[in-house]
Structure 1
C-alpha cells in the first residue's frame, strides 16, 4: 500500500518537470523569434546602456501593468525580470525590447504571476470596458432593433395578405410557399439593415456561413423529405392528372385520383381501397393516365375451329363490333388472326369507345358475348381448350340458326360501377378539412 503514494508522487513530479521543460522551450522559442537582427555596433558604452534601460522603463511605465518588471542593460544585452499578469505580456516584452535601437540581445526572464487576484484584474478590466462600450452603443442598438422589428412586422403583414399570393399561385400549397419566401426575404433584409446601422455587417457573413453549413447538414439528414417536398411543388405546378382520373403508377398501383397533398397522392382503387403513394415516387415513376384521352380501346381474343373459314369469321366479327351502338366509327374496329393455339385458331378483336359515356369492362364483355354468338350462329365452333371426357348418348345435332342472333335491344354498358366510385371520390373531396393541391386552373402536362 505504501507504493501507491510513492508512485503518485513520482508521476506528479514527472508532470511538473514536463510542464517546466515545455514552458522553458516556449520561452526559448519566443526569445529566438524576437531577437534583434543585423550587425552589432562596436561603439557600445555605459551611456548607451543607460539610455536603452531608461527608454524601456519609460515605455513600460506608459503602457502600464509592468510595475513588477525590472530592466537591466549591459553591453547592449537587455535582461528583463519580474512578473506580469498575463502570459501574452511575456512575448510582448521580448518583441518590444528587440525594437529599441542599440539592443544586441534580449534575455526575457519574466514569468506570468500565479497570483489569482492579479490574473483576474485584466479580465475584469476588459469586462468593464465591454460594458462601457455596450452602454455607449445602447441608443444605436435600440435604433437598429426598432428598424429590424419594423421591417420584420411589415414582411409578416404582407405575407398574411391573400393577394397577390393566391392570384400568383395555382393552389394554397404554393401560395404558402410564396408567403414563407416573403417572410424569409424580409427577415434577411431587416437583419442586414440592422447590422449596417450598428456597423457590424462583417458579422453577417459569419451568420450566413454558419446557416449554410447547418442547412447542408440538415439537407443530407432529411434528403428523402426534401425530395418529396420538391416533387410536391413540381406536381402542383404541372399537374399530370385531375380528380377522378384513372391512373397507373409504375405499372403496379391503379385507381382513380382523389386528391394531391403536400406529401402524397391519394388514389381510390376499384376495390374501394385508399392507395397512398409518396409524391417523390409519383414524380419519378412511369405513370399511365387512362382518362386524359376520352377515346379508349377494348381488346379481347376468341378462338375458332381450325377448319373454319377464317376470312369469313374475321369479316363477321368486324361487322358485329361495327354494329354495336357504343363503338366508335373512328378509330374503326379491327380484327386480325393472331396465332394458332392448341385446338383453335385465335383472333384478336378490338374496338373503340368514348369512356366518358361507356364503361370499358362492360363494353368489352358485351362485344365478346355478341361476337361469340354470331360465330356460333354461323355454324362455326368456338372450341373449349380445356380437355374433358364426358360420356353422352348420341343424339341428333340441333340445327344452328342462320345468321347472327337478333339483338334484344341496346345493351346497357353505362359506367354504373365507376359512377359509384365517382360518388365516393366526390364525398372525399367535399371534406374541406383535407387539403387538396389539384386545381382546374393549373396547366396540364
Structure 2
C-alpha cells in the first residue's frame, strides 16, 4: 500500500469536507443568510490553515516523556521552517482536521453571528483548544497515555476524531449557542431549510470526504478495508434508524432527516472505525441515527438555540461512538473479550474534553460578546444578514421586465 499517495489523496478528501459542510449548513438556513453561513466555513478554512502551518502543527505534538504538557511548543519549527518534505505530508493532512473541527462549531450560531467576531473566536479557540487537544489525543499527550497512567488499562481509542473533533466541536457549539442566545422568534420549526438539494449535495460531499477522514491514517490494506467498509456501514444504518424514528415521531420520513442520519452515523463511527467489526458498526449506526433523531429536540426542552443541531448531531453521536468502544471494541470491549477498563478510559477522555472545550469556548465567546459584540442586531437578523454583513445575496435574480 503506497501510504504517501493515499495520505495525500486523503488530505484532499478531508479538505473537500469543509466546502461540503458549507453547502450542508448553507442549505439549512434562511435564503437571506446562506452567504453568511457559508462564509463562516470558508473563513475558518483560511484562518485555521494559516495558524496550523505557522504554529498549530507544532503545538499538536508533545515530546516523548512529557505527557502532561499542555501542548507542544508553538515556536518549534515556526512556519514549518526546517521540516523535511516528507513530514510536510502529515502537516498537510493534520491541517484539514483542524479546519473542519473549527468550522463545525459555526452551525450553532447560524443566522445571527458577526463574521469578524466569528473569525476572532475561531482563531483563539483553535489555538487554545483544538491544537492542544489534538496533542493530548494523538500527539503523545495525557489522553494517549491514559491507560498506562492508570495502571495498565487499555489505551483510549479515538482513531479519527470522536473526542478531538466531534465532541470538541459539539461542546464549543453548546457554549456559543448559550452566549449568543436564541434567534428572534425561536420556537420549534422556526425555519425550514431554504434549499434541500443544497443540503443533500453538502451531505454527499461530507460522506465522500469522510473516507479520507477515517481511513487516511491506515498503513496497510486490511486496516483500510475495515475502516472503509465501516464508513459505509454505520451511516447507512443510521439513515434507517433516523427515518424510522422520524416517521414515528413526526409522521414523515424526510430527505433532510435521511442525510442528517448519515452524518450522525459518520460521526459515531469516526472514533471506532478501526476497532469494530462491520456488524457492530451497523448496530452503532442504527443507534446513532435513532438517538440523534430524538436528541435534536433537546434544545427546545432545555431552551438553548443550537441553530443547525451541532450538539444534537456531533456532540451526541461523538459521545455515543466513543463510549460504544468501551463495550464493543474488538478484543478490549466489555462484551467482546475485554473488561471495564476500556470503558473507564473512554469515559474519562469524553468528560475531560467536554468540560475543557465548553469552558474555554464559553469564556472566549463571552469576552467577545462583552467587548466588540458577537451577535448582529435583531433588525439585521430578521432582514437576513447576507447583504448587511457581506454585501452579497445568495440568489440575486434579475427582476423581470414589465411590458
| TM-score over 0.5 for the pair | no
TM-score tier, shorter chain, comes to under 0.3
TM-score (norm: length of structure 2) = 0.22
